[in-house]
């Protein structure tokens, strides 16, 4: 019975879920993850149950059920006298496409670097697919894929060789790896150039290859750090379609981008950070309504405009 | 992968395979003169050491290039452990060193190299040289750790290459320079190779040399790996 209700609830957006909770006269905090809300409504939880969950320490919540793909808890990263990430708290749901926006130097890449195990946090922690970044990095590396800002590929190898090298590192069986490689090369329009060495690729082609390498290991969670930088509009649209197709596979995607329209087109939710702090969080639609803006770019400029003015 | 890198990058191919070959040709054709008491057999041990110490530069360039291109960071986000990464790279560079030595032997043989030990000496020289190559890999890692770019790595690698080159390999050791040379692993490889090619296998000197080469090389590569893991990856 509850599984039928759950599947119905899963089709609803966060706003609708909160409306149902309101009708059922239960108060669910606004910042709780969508998956958790679905779960609570499906189980017909009472306000008291919700209070109990809220009182549980983070570790207990993770032990009892994996509600969120990523839980960032009081995360701090200090570089000498610069605080790149400042007490960041955030939950990202399984299957969600979440965009992290912010001006240059806001702390986006530092956050991704911590979540992907490249940097160690100064304080706080993050739980990725149930594993703590300060304790279980090896486990985390098995479930994530990272598309770095710079196109980090072996230039003397061709696209296929690069993809297969990283696929082998992830332990993908040979046949499945060949199929995935073919599919990805086709989807991103690199099939014809797949035997050309990466050193002969254009910037846009390198970006596409960079993205494929990040996803060849079939990660549950993908960190895409400005994946479409330097792509022409057509290539960018094609990449958007590709990213959307990942969402359909219930992958959790964390995207950073300077193209606000990209975040608006792709994201379920957006987080805007500045000076390492999360200053706004919500769906693009909610944020536009809240800030009475025509588009997300307006919201971004309204919130972070002072940084631009400071820079003038 | 390293083999593809070696073959597909002209600079790498030259430095790793053609350079030892050219050196062998040049040194044997210009230096070996039996009338002056310098036979091909005397030149070959120095050539082998010379080829392998240049591995310092290759390793330093390789790691610093991968760091500069963001590849080390990327590999760090995959399930491959540091041990697997370092282990595979160290073994690959040791194999490159063996390949270099085989090239030197082959060319030297064509030009008249006939060790008193026979072919057995050549086979014994390979594992001793492979062990020595570990020290070059270690020094290459240390160089990559302290260099910000591949270009700087090339320059800094000569800090480790030149002393080994001048104290015994390139210029014969005198009683004065021997005291300095004794602090360098290349001195022990040179001594071991000379004894091996002479066929003087029951000489305890070979074992002592091999012992020193093993201990020093393992220590240097361990220091290199630790330093690179801690400070060189980012």
B9: helix, strand or coil: coil
Phi, psi of A31 (to 5 degrees): -85, 5
Q: Which residues of A touch B1 (CB under 8 A)?
A: 154, 157, 165
**Each residue's pLDDT tens digit, B108-124:** 999 989 999 888 898 99
Give how far A170 is from chain B: nearest CA, Å.
6
Contact A142 B79 (CB under 8 A): yes
d(CA B159, CA B142): 11
Mean pLDDT, chain A, rounded, equals 87
Higher-pLDDT residue of A44, B231: B231
Phi, psi of A190 (to 5 degrees): -110, 5
**Each residue's pLDDT tens digit, B8-38:** 887 878 888 888 889 889 888 888 777 776 7
- For B80, the closest chain A residue by CA position comes to A169
- For B85, the closest chain A residue by CA position comes to A169
**Each residue's pLDDT tens digit, B49-85:** 989 999 999 999 999 999 999 999 999 999 999 899 9
Q: Which of B8, B77, B80 sits opposite A156 (nearest CB)?
A: B8
Tell me the whole-structure pTM to 2 decimals.
Answer: 0.80
Mutate to test the interface with A, among B79, B82, B84, B150 (most CBs of A within 10 A): B79
**Each residue's pLDDT tens digit, A117-156:** 999 999 999 999 888 999 889 999 999 999 999 999 999 9
Q: For position A194, what pLDDT does the model report?
A: 94
- Assess B80–A contact: CB distance below 8 Å, yes or no: yes
**Each residue's pLDDT tens digit, A154-205:** 999 999 999 999 999 999 999 999 999 999 999 999 999 999 999 999 999 9
Contact A117 B76 (CB under 8 A): yes
Residue A3 — pLDDT band, cuts 50, 70, 90?
Answer: low
In this prediction the ipTM stands at 0.82
Cβ contacts of A209 within 8 Å, gap of 6 or more: A151, A153, A159, A162, A163, A190, A198, A201
Q: Which residues of B touch A128 (CB under 8 A)?
A: none
- For B12, the closest chain A residue by CA position comes to A156
Contact A144 B77 (CB under 8 A): yes
Q: Which of B76, B79, B234 sits opposite A170 (nearest CB)?
A: B79
Contact B74 A146 (CB under 8 A): yes
d(CA A67, CA A49): 15
């Amino acid at each position: 019975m509850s599984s039928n209700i759950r599947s119905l609830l899963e089709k609803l957006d966060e706003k609708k879920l909160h409306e149902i909770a309101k009708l059922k006269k239960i108060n669910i905090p606004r910042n709780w993850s969508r998956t958790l809300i679905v779960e609570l409504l499906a189980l017909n939880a009472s306000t008291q149950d919700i209070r109990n969950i809220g009182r549980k320490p983070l570790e207990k919540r993770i032990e009892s059920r994996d509600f969120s793909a990523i839980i960032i808890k009081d995360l701090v990263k200090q570089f000498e006298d610069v605080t790149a990430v400042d007490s960041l708290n955030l939950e990202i749901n399984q299957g969600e496409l979440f965009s992290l926006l912010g001006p240059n130097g806001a702390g986006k890449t530092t956050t991704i670097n911590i979540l992907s195990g490249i940097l160690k946090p100064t304080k706080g922690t993050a739980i990725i697919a149930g594993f703590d970044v300060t304790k279980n990095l090896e486990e985390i590396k098995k479930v994530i894929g990272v598309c770095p800002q710079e196109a980090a590929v072996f230039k003397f190898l061709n696209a296929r060789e690069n993809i297969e090298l990283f696929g082998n590192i992830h332990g993908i069986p040979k046949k499945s790896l060949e199929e995935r490689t073919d599919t990805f090369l086709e989807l991103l329009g690199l099939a014809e150039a797949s035997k050309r060495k990466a050193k002969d690729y254009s910037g846009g082609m390198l970006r596409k290859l960079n993205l494929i390498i990040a996803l060849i290991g079939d990660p549950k969670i993908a960190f895409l750090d400005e994946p479409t930088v330097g792509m022409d509009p057509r290539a960018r649209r094609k990449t958007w379609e590709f990213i959307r197709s990942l969402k359909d596979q219930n992958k959790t995607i964390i995207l950073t981008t300077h193209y606000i329209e990209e975040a608006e087109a792709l994201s379920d939710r957006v987080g805007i950070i500045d000076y390492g702090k999360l200053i706004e969080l919500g769906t693009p639609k909610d944020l536009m309504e809240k800030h009475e803006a025509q588009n997300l770019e307006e919201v971004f400029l309204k919130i972070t405009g002072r940084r631009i003015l400071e820079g003038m | 992968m390293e083999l593809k890198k070696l073959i597909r990058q002209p600079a790498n191919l030259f430095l790793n395979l053609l350079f030892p070959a050219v050196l062998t040709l040049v040194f044997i054709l210009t230096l070996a003169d039996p009338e002056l008491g310098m036979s091909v057999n005397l030149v070959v041990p120095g050539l082998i050491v010379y080829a392998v110490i240049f591995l310092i530069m290759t390793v330093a360039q390789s790691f610093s290039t991968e760091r500069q291109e963001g590849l080390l960071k990327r590999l760090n986000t995959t399930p491959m452990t540091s041990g697997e990464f370092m282990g595979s790279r160290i073994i690959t560079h040791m194999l490159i060193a063996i390949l270099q030595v085989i090239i030197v032997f082959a060319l030297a043989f064509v030009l008249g190299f006939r060790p008193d030990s026979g072919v057995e000496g050549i086979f014994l020289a390979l594992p001793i040289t492979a062990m020595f190559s570990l020290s070059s890999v270690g020094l290459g890692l240390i160089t990559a750790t302290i260099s910000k770019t591949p270009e700087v790595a090339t320059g800094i690698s000569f800090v480790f290459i030149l002393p080994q080159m001048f104290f015994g390999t390139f210029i014969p050791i005198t009683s004065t320079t021997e005291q300095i040379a004794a602090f360098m692993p290349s001195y022990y490889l040179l001594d071991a190779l000379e004894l091996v090619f002479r066929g003087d296998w029951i000489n305890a000197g070979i074992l002592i040399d091999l012992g020193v080469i093993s201990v020093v090389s393992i220590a240097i590569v361990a220091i290199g790996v630790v330093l690179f893991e801690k400070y060189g990856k980012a």
